[in-house]
Amino acid sequence: MEIIKIESEFIKLDSFLKLAGICQTGGEAKNLILDEYVSVNGEIETRRGKKLYPGDIISFDGNEFKIGER
Pairing label, strands 63-68, 2-5: parallel
The CATH H-level (homologous superfamily) assignment of domain 2-68 is: RNA-binding S4 domain (3.10.290.10)
Cβ neighbours of residue 54 closer than 8 Å, sequence gap 6 or more: 6, 67, 68, 69
Asked if pLDDT for residue 65 goes beyond 90, the answer is: yes
Asked if pLDDT for residue 70 goes beyond 80, the answer is: no
| 6-64 residue pLDDT tens | 989 999 999 999 999 999 998 999 999 999 999 999 999 999 999 999 999 999 999 99
Q: What is the pTM of this model?
A: 0.87
Q: Where are the domains of the chain?
A: 2-68
Cβ 54 vs Cβ 70: under 8 Å? no
